[in-house]
Amino acid sequence: MTTWTRKRATVAGVCLVVALAAGAGTWAIVDPAMQASASSSSSSSDGNGAGGARGRYTGPTATVDKGDLTDSKVFAGTLGYGTASGVPGAAQGTLTWLPKPGQVIRSDEFLYAVDERGVRAMHGSVPLWRSLERGLKGTDVRQLNQNLAALGYDVSVDDTFGPRTQRAVKRWQKDRGHKVTGVITSADIAFVDGDVRVASVTGKLGQPAGGDVLTVTSTKRIVTATVSQRDAERLAVGTKVRVRINGTGDAMPGEVTDLQPSASQDGSSKVDVSVSFDAGNRQLPAAASAQIDAEGTTEKGVLSVPIAALVAGDGGKYSVDVVQRDGTTKRVRVTPGFIADGRIAITGGVSEGDKVVVPG
């Protein structure tokens, strides 16, 4: 396990006070001398002072809890369709039809048209890098066979372009009004990664079909976030997370599906994280900010208190003020440990259920 996931409190000579905002910890450093001075002043008062033997404490308290602490972290993200990829205009000729941004293109539907002949989408992760004809083998041939089988043609779903594939291609070409050759070229199809949504149209009608003519994304809504290399360690592909879309209610279950290196404006290394999620019947806005809640290390069965309950002492030592049955307080030495969600694990002369002073 990496050292960053073992988030231990290294608190020497200062008191750590946390103020939680939007799920993330914001640290403030309190001078030990000031803390000790304030504590001494409170102890000698007759009013609400922590540690005062001459008065009952009536200020805010927190309970010493026993249970699991999980180091979770919230990352700011954006609701969208993921990173767009280009669709090259590989067919030779003039662009005569292009789709509109936002249009969804499914298998066997037109991606674009050249010289009034539509280039159709077929599903596959490997691009069409050659003409496919009888006798060839490869992943691109398997993709073709898979698509033809899904469209109802009689083929063997393997990586061989045999007689059955050739017959199926000829039938497919005849059914679409193409010249029947038994050979699949870039004038017939382009492989895209599933059903796609048109993100932008870069080609121009009346111009040659060169370069990328479209950019497309997945049709599924995802949340993306850019995080540091260190934070990416808790967001490996397959990690279960919780996703919250602003303005749409409770968090939803999600899963990290992709990680891609990125560069920030300051030149530091970053990672773009993609998270899929199950929205159910929930209506999502066209665009929104989002949060990804990722869990990290868990410490089981520990005693913990809010971090603000710690009192700094000399020599980097720490205590808590325990409220006694008679209402007075007693300062008890503790050793701080694991920090998570605004609480800190402690060991020492405290027990589950004790009430400790928390500055108001």
CATH assignment at residue 226: 2.40.30.170
CA–CA dist 315, 350 (Å, integer): 21
Whether residue 20 is found in the same domain as residue 33: yes
Clarify whether residues 36 and 117 are in a common domain.
Answer: no
* Model pLDDT for residues 130-187, shown as the tens digit of each residue: 999 999 999 999 999 999 999 999 999 999 999 999 999 999 999 999 999 999 999 9
Query: Within a 13 Å sphere around the CA of 23, how many CA atoms are in the beta-carbon half?
Result: 16
266 shares its domain with 202: no
Query: Is the CA virtual torsion 351, 357, 359, 360 positive or negative?
Result: positive
Say whether both 225 and 236 belong to one domain.
yes
What is the reported pLDDT for 269? Answer: 87
Tell whether 278 and 321 lie within a shared domain. Answer: no
Among 173, 191, 218, the domain-final residue is 218
Q: Are residues 210 and 140 in the same domain?
A: yes
Q: 276 versus 51: which is more confidently predicted?
A: 276
Do 152 and 100 fall within a single domain?
yes
Question: What's the pLDDT band for 18 if we cut at 50, 70, 90?
Answer: very low
Residues 108, 182, single domain; the answer is yes
145-157 pLDDT tens trace: 999 999 999 999 9
The distance from CA 296 to its chain's CA centroid, rounded to whole angstroms, is 13
Per-residue confidence (pLDDT) for residue 38, from 0 to 100: 37
Single residue among 169, 195, 218 that ends a domain in this structure: 218
Note whether 100 and 213 are same-domain residues: yes
Least confident interval from 10-14, 54-58, 356-360: 10-14
Q: Which CATH number characterizes residue 148's domain?
A: 1.10.101.10
Q: Which domain holds residue 291?
A: 74-81+221-295
What does the mean pLDDT of the chain come to? 86
Q: Which of 195, 218, 241 is the endpoint of a domain?
A: 218
Say yes or no: 47 and 127 in one domain.
no
208 or 32: which leads in pLDDT: 208
Least confident of 67-71, 98-102, 265-269: 265-269
Whole-prediction pTM value? 0.64
Gap between the Cα atoms of 64 and 70, Å rounded: 16
What is the residue-wise DSSP string for 195-259? SEEEEEE---TTSB--SEEEEEEESS-EEEEEEEHHHHTTS-TT-EEEEEETTS-S-EEEEEEEE
33: tokens are: 């001398």
Name the residue among 295, 299, 297 with its Cα closest to residue 345. Answer: 299
Q: Are residues 142 and 17 in the same domain?
A: no
Number of domains comprising the chain: 3
Q: What's residue 54's pLDDT?
A: 53
The CATH number of residue 317's host domain is 2.40.420.20
Could you tell me which residue, 275 or 283, shows the higher pLDDT?
Answer: 275
Looking at the structure, tell me whether residues 203 and 238 fall in a common domain: no
